[in-house]
Structure 1
Amino acid sequence: MNRIVFILIALAALLLAVLLFLPGLIPVAAFKGRIETQASAALGREVTIGDNLSFRIFPRTAFHVEDLVIANAEGFEGEYLARVEEADIGVKLLPLLSKSVEIDRFVLTRPDIKLIRAQDGAVNWNLASAEQAPQEESQSSESDSGQLRDLKLGDVRIEGGAARYTDAAAGTSYALEDMDLSVVLKSLSEPLEAKGSLTFQGEPAKIDMVLTSLAAVMEKKPGNLKLNLDIGEASAGADLEIATKDGLRYSGPATLDAPDLPAFAALVGTELADAPGFDNLSVKGDIDGTDTQMRLDNTSIVFDKIEAQGALALDWSGARPKASGVLSTDKLDLRPYMPPPAQSDEGFPEWSEAPMDFASLNNIDAEFDISTNEILINDLEFGESRIKLTIDQGRMTAQIPELSMYGGQGSGRLVVNARGATPSFAGNFDVGSVQAQPFTTDLMKTDNLLGLGSFKLNFTASGASQAAIMRTIDGSGGFDLADGAIKGVNIAAMVRAAGELSEGFNLAALQSAVSKARGPAEQTDFSEFLSDFSITDGLVNAPTISLNGPYLTMTGKGTVNLAEQTVNISLSPRATTTIDGEGGRAFQAPVKIGGTFSQPTIGVDAEALAKKGFQRTLENVLSKDKKGEEEEDGEESEQDPARQILEGIIGGQKKKTDEPQAGEEEASAEPSTEDALINEGLNAIFGKKKKPAEETEDDTPEN
């Protein structure tokens, strides 16, 4: 009995000795060449390992390899596909007998992987040779005697890893560094879990991934991938079904939140121009895509201040990403992408000479069909509309088949071409039933025009600033307003007041009537107000202006200098004492509109008044007693103030005497009292400003 016990103890000691010393007795280095040869044949690529190769059984079976290198494929730059500085692999022996691999320790220290896609689409990570693949597939179909039944992972880690992906066809490159990942796999049929941190394109990132199941993916069957990823300030999440049989494909719900869009775009290989807008992006929807493109349905998008729903497609296979889709939005706010409007505390602002930036159009190509309830473009507001937007290499075309603005409906087209050094513009708009007052308030910063009507405009222009565009704009257009009014002036009253000159007047009454006609509470009502115009180098020429209204009909013509913001319009109104112009009395007097956009002026045109034949009519007022004057003995009779004012208006002359007349010889050094009175009357009637040296208190309102 004692001998049996002794033998058992001796066997146990011998077994322990084998476990302790056998790894040292096995000449592992002698098998190094064979291992490299077998691995190279299996991978179809040269595999080398360092000399420090070891194996142990106790306390657990383990292999240690240093400097493991898998060579790069022929024709690709770089010495290797993958290099591992150290690898510790612990394998349980007993499961191997049942053709299962149970790894209780798998630690890769500082692995470096370099993946490359060439210009022709070839990749360097196809490890099995083309000749081996069919053979292996045939062998596996005949017998599964050598097939791996299962794989279990215990402590699996990647420490200090790095990887780089370069796509020569797309001109993109992505780098992952400082990878510290842990992996859990209880069996091939159970989920593969990976979690850890890394640096992606220089930005810190965290990843939490679950893949079910690895066995399905290895057999190129569909699997499921749940992913949560944080990169810098951006975050993404997905629950995708993936397939790899015919290339990578994925589908399922996904989200993306990029509060700093330029930074995120740079991470994924797209540099956005430093331009207005493109600040943030948030996307949520059902995704279906590949490694170069994807489509989102049931999508909710927040892009800067725009919130939209619909379908969206993205393609980043080329040098510039392309987006397309059909979207609807409650509000389409385009203000961030437009040059800011000039600001002014008083009236219409001057055109800005500041350079405008349309570099945003070079950030992305796009094709969108957008329906919206509201469009905001600087100070202009549009209602329910539809836009077909195309952006192609810096040229934007907006077809607007349905345009709602200020109560009206119409259509339009706008082109902004930023391909060259100087941007160019073209457009045409045709809208009807527009409310004139809110439209002109937003466009021209004046609320003096009321009415409902149609507007047409066709234009082309170029320039890098607002001022440059206004100097180059060419085109044509017109408007036709109905049942409205021009606030701030009663042209009919003004013409009637001037017409009263034919029957005599007193100066105070005339001055009061003209001033009152230009008062803030006055307005010129019309049933129809229309004009056509052309534009050449920023000069608007309106050869026909027509207005019809109660007590008034009017024609005219004139110009508007857009670049200089000046107005020069001559009107020929006919005012009547009856609402329809039938019967009663009629008066005519030319009216002049001038000044600037900020300070327009309107009043009776004194110069035109004299030229159009009023002189003869007014001379009748001056001829109270012509015969009596002729019988005077050489001395002028005393003239009343009205006669003096009228002589100033029509250029009438004093009765000739034997004395030299003013202007025939040297003029007087100072104006006479009579001349001063005439000037005062003209200033009062026609709204002319006095020279600075003659300024006095004047209650006459100016427009």
Structure 2
Amino acid sequence: MGKPLKIILSIFATLTLLVIVVVCALFIFIDPNDFKPEIQAAVKDKIGRELTLEGELKLSVFPWLGISSGKMVLSNAEGFQSKPFAEIEESNINVKLLPLLSKEIEVDRIVLKGLTVNLAKNKQGINNWHDLVETQPEIPAPDSGKQDVQPSAKAQTILSIGGITIKNARIDWDNQKNGKHLEFKDVNLNTDKIVFDQPFAVDLALVVSDTQAKLTETIKLAMDLTVNEKLDVFHLADVNLQTTTAGEKIPGQSLKSTLTAADVALDMAKQDLKISTLRLESGDLKIAADITGTQIKDQPSFQGPVTVAEFNPVQVMKQLAMTPPATRDASALTRLAMNFNLLATDKSADLQNLVVKLDDTAINGSAGIKNFSEPAITFNLTADAIDVDRYLAPEKAADKKSKPIASPATTTAAAASALPVDTLRKLNANGQLTLQKLKASNLTLQDIHVKLNAKNGIVTTQQSVKQFYQGSYSGNLNMDVRGNQPKLAVNETLNHVQVAPLLKDYKGEARMSGAVNASAQLQAQGHTANELKSSLNGRLSFLFRDSVILGFNLQKIIDSSKALVKGAPLPTDNKKDQTLFSEITGTATVNNGILHNNDLIAHSSKLRVNGKGSANLNTEKLDYKINATLLKSADASGQQAEKMTVAINVGGTFNEPAYTVDPTSLLTEEHKAKIEEKKQKLLDKLDKKIGPGTSDLLKRLF
């Protein structure tokens, strides 16, 4: 065994010595600068670009076979500006000599100094590096009928790099198609020794400048990276990405964000991605996720749980240079948290098992967007209780007294009409919302169901409230925004709704009580609330049962009228005056915002009322005339007879109606008979003084 070993060692030593002698001879007798024309010609032939070697090439041999260069310039693609595609002020690369004998490539640290790359895209969308990444079509080898023989582990070449250093590099990105211009400067990259399938540390720092937006982004990245020999499997550990955004529009002139991940595994061959313990922190906002991706090149799909820790939306809006809305409740929009399972592709995103906590409201369900280019929104959400009034702008005392009563459908119509027509035309949404309890305009609604369908310029909603002041509500809205003027159609129904508590909550006082059944079918068109009201058309009907009208005593008005005729003193006013009706009914038509009602009828045990008039929905002015008849008590036959009828004019506004008595209606039949008797006596006297037939002539004339 000793002799063969000596022979092998002798051969190895001889070969090693031969390589060293040859390399030394090359180093001594060959100047690499003599080969500049050949190198430049080879680059021109391979990629079609000019390579200029302005600096001196220096060769080193033992123990590292290496070369260093001065300035190198690579020309730009044809059709682009004259400045070069890339420049390098200085480079250095060395390969260890002896490991080459055993097919091990051990590269010393690669150093690039002063690297400048000018990337561009022209107005036609063509970039200036497409010719560098074009791949030649693969030519299939002839089928010999033999199975491919995989090289053994001993035949494989092992590559290791002592590290990569890039100092003070700059990348300029000029997108002429969209006018975007970015500058990546102070790019510094440093890595540990790079060996395939073994982790090595990576540190990257750069500054991104956007002159148009006047923003500067400072980026720092640190991680441990593992890459396989085929460069298609990557593993990242302890990823830490820190960014600082600075600019005039950023509150405090800067905003810091941190993105970390415990583990990132990317397999390009299998098209799989897995990110574990992903964390994003920016100001008060903290997001955690675990994401798995499949088919990331062909049909990318990503899924995994996402958690947004509780944060203060008002503070985040301030950090993002947004003005928080003024709210009636100072504690509104101060707590928001959510978690969901994300299912996303390159064209859609679904949030499943969604749980949102907004202040004191819990929301759960699902939501999604399909086709990002033309978004289609879907949702199915349920909330326990929400007080909408907390999030509205502060209300003035005068506003509460003057605000008109608006139904859910008309409120929805007014809110929708406030949106830009283009937004409504493009809206593609389908979903439903269920609320256990809702407080809006100080009204309390329970068990609410809302369905929304919007597509191709048609927006429809269906809403129902199963518990609405001891009654129920149902309605629907149809909005057509395909034309220049939005067109709306509203249908609504109220069933056995108690009026007094509703008015008390809505306006702070209730001048009427009882249960109401009502329905309305209305149409309107316009962009603003005023335009909608002035163009309002349709019909409605109402029925009040066991109603009490406060501040209005109809019987007292009739008694006052009787006292006035007889010369008796008028009864004193009382703020607690009221009128009781067993039933009030009527129908109305609406034409261009003016409501016409010709069949107002009210009944009570002692009163009969009928009337007609109009109400202007634009000015809120009333113009009504009602006839009220006070009934006698039942006689022996059980019949009731009219005692006195009074005409009352109703004017003023919805909030402050005014009542005046028509004087001519104060004349009873008894008084009318006395006047007729006196008139006849006067005519008889005229016949005697002037002559017979005078009274007949006056009767014909008057």
Normalised-by-shorter TM-score class: 0.5 to 0.7
Task: Give the deviation of 1:600 after TM superposition.
Answer: 0.7
| Cα 1:167/1:316, change in 2 over 3 Å | farther
Task: Give the deviation of 1:465 after TM superposition.
Answer: 3.5
Task: Give the deviation of 1:400 after TM superposition.
Answer: 2.5
Gaps of 5+ in 1: 1-10, 267-271, 635-652, 660-703
Are 2:452 and 2:462, in contact at CA under 8 Å, matched by a contact in 1? Answer: yes
Decide which of 41, 50, 57 is 2:52's aligned counterpart. 50
Equivalent position of 2:463 in the other structure: 400
Are 1:29 and 1:51, in contact at CA under 8 Å, matched by a contact in 2? Answer: no
Distance 1:506 1:540 in 2: 39
Equivalent position of 2:380 in the other structure: 326
Equivalent position of 1:530 in the other structure: 585
Are 2:326 and 2:394, in contact at CA under 8 Å, matched by a contact in 1? Answer: no
Say yes or no: does 1:362 pair with 2:371. no
Compare relative contact order (CA 8 Å, sep 6+) and give the higher one, 1 or 2.
1
Paired residues, number? 592
Distance 2:172 2:279 in 1: 20
| Cα 1:70/1:366, change in 2 over 3 Å | farther
Are 1:331 and 1:375, in contact at CA under 8 Å, matched by a contact in 2? Answer: yes
Say yes or no: does 1:111 pair with 2:113. no
Distance 1:574 1:620 in 2: 19
Q: Report the 3-state secondary structure (helix = DSSP H, G, I; strand = E; otherwise coil) of the residue aligned with 2:540.
A: strand
CA displacement 1:626-661 (0-9 Å, x = unmatched): 89x98xxx9xxxxxxxxxxxxxxxxxx9x99999xx
Equivalent position of 2:292 in the other structure: 241
| Cα 1:339/1:345, change in 2 over 3 Å | closer
Equivalent position of 1:127 in the other structure: 133
**More deviation, 487-496/210-219:** 210-219
Distance 1:571 1:616 in 2: 19
Within-5 A mapping of 1:9-28? 22=27, 25-27=30-32
Say yes or no: does 1:618 pair with 2:674. no
Are 1:205 and 1:230, in contact at CA under 8 Å, matched by a contact in 2? Answer: no
Task: Give the deviation of 1:358 after TM superposition.
Answer: 2.0
Task: Give the deviation of 1:604 after TM superposition.
Answer: 3.4
Distance 2:593 2:662 in 1: 26
Are 2:32 and 2:59, in contact at CA under 8 Å, matched by a contact in 1? Answer: no
Distance 1:261 1:24 in 2: 69
Distance 2:34 2:659 in 1: 106
Within-5 A mapping of 1:521-600? 521-576=576-631, 587=643, 588-600=645-657
Are 2:357 and 2:363, in contact at CA under 8 Å, matched by a contact in 1? Answer: yes
CA displacement 1:231-274 (0-9 Å, x = unmatched): 999886654333434254433344679979999999xxxxx9xx
| Cα 1:218/1:463, change in 2 over 3 Å | closer
| Cα 1:19/1:130, change in 2 over 3 Å | closer
Q: Match for 2:379: what amino acid?
A: G
Are 1:234 and 1:260, in contact at CA under 8 Å, matched by a contact in 2? Answer: no
Say yes or no: does 1:311 pair with 2:366. yes
Say yes or no: does 1:199 pair with 2:253. no
Are 1:551 and 1:579, in contact at CA under 8 Å, matched by a contact in 2? Answer: no
Distance 1:443 1:288 in 2: 43
Distance 2:688 2:169 in 1: 117
**More deviation, 341-350/596-605:** 341-350
Distance 1:506 1:67 in 2: 118
Task: Give the deviation of 1:566 after TM superposition.
Answer: 0.8
CA displacement 1:375-398 (0-9 Å, x = unmatched): 566676644323233455776443
Within-5 A mapping of 1:163-202? 177-178=184-185, 180=187, 182=189, 187-189=195-197, 196=205, 198-199=207-208, 202=213
Task: Give the deviation of 1:310 after TM superposition.
Answer: 2.9
Distance 2:404 2:117 in 1: 64
Equivalent position of 1:154 in the other structure: 163
**More deviation, 591-600/250-259:** 250-259
Distance 1:190 1:360 in 2: 58
Decide which of 454, 471, 477 is 2:534's aligned counterpart. 471
Q: Report the 3-state secondary structure (helix = DSSP H, G, I; strand = E; otherwise coil) of the residue aligned with 2:133.
A: coil
Distance 1:335 1:366 in 2: 28
Within-5 A mapping of 1:453-532? 453-498=516-561, 505-508=566-569, 511-512=570-571, 516=573, 519-532=574-587
Task: Give the deviation of 1:560 after TM superposition.
Answer: 0.7
Q: Which has the higher strand share?
A: 2
Are 1:347 and 1:599, in contact at CA under 8 Å, matched by a contact in 2? Answer: no
Q: Match for 2:614: what amino acid?
A: T
| Cα 1:522/1:213, change in 2 over 3 Å | farther
Equivalent position of 1:691 in the other structure: none
**More deviation, 256-265/361-370:** 256-265
| Cα 1:416/1:543, change in 2 over 3 Å | same
**More deviation, 241-250/193-202:** 193-202
CA displacement 1:465-489 (0-9 Å, x = unmatched): 4333221111222222333322211
Q: Match for 1:481: what amino acid?
A: F
Gaps of 5+ in 2: 1-15, 234-266, 328-332, 406-415, 690-702
Distance 2:663 2:488 in 1: 41
Q: Match for 1:251: what amino acid?
A: Q
| Cα 1:447/1:420, change in 2 over 3 Å | farther
Are 1:417 and 1:423, in contact at CA under 8 Å, matched by a contact in 2? Answer: yes
CA displacement 1:356-387 (0-9 Å, x = unmatched): 85239729734233223455666766443232
Equivalent position of 2:398 in the other structure: 344
Decide which of 298, 304, 319 is 1:252's aligned counterpart. 304
| Cα 1:555/1:498, change in 2 over 3 Å | same
Q: Report the 3-state secondary structure (helix = DSSP H, G, I; strand = E; otherwise coil) of the residue aligned with 2:163.
A: strand
Equivalent position of 2:434 in the other structure: 371
Are 2:283 and 2:316, in contact at CA under 8 Å, matched by a contact in 1? Answer: no
Distance 1:190 1:579 in 2: 108
Distance 2:99 2:606 in 1: 109
**More deviation, 573-582/418-427:** 573-582
Equivalent position of 2:256 in the other structure: none
| Cα 1:71/1:135, change in 2 over 3 Å | farther
Q: Report the 3-state secondary structure (helix = DSSP H, G, I; strand = E; otherwise coil) of the residue aligned with 1:132.
A: coil
| Cα 1:465/1:27, change in 2 over 3 Å | same
Equivalent position of 2:3 in the other structure: none
Distance 1:140 1:431 in 2: 82
| Cα 1:252/1:598, change in 2 over 3 Å | same
Q: Match for 1:491: what amino acid?
A: L
Task: Give the deviation of 1:538 after TM superposition.
Answer: 0.4
Decide which of 273, 276, 280 is 1:223's aligned counterpart. 273
Q: Report the 3-state secondary structure (helix = DSSP H, G, I; strand = E; otherwise coil) of the residue aligned with 1:450.
A: strand
Equivalent position of 2:491 in the other structure: 428
Equivalent position of 1:694 in the other structure: none
Are 2:421 and 2:481, in contact at CA under 8 Å, matched by a contact in 1? Answer: no
Are 1:338 and 1:377, in contact at CA under 8 Å, matched by a contact in 2? Answer: no
Q: Match for 2:593: what amino acid?
A: G
| Cα 1:149/1:553, change in 2 over 3 Å | farther
CA displacement 1:484-517 (0-9 Å, x = unmatched): 322211223433554678xx74421xx21xx53x
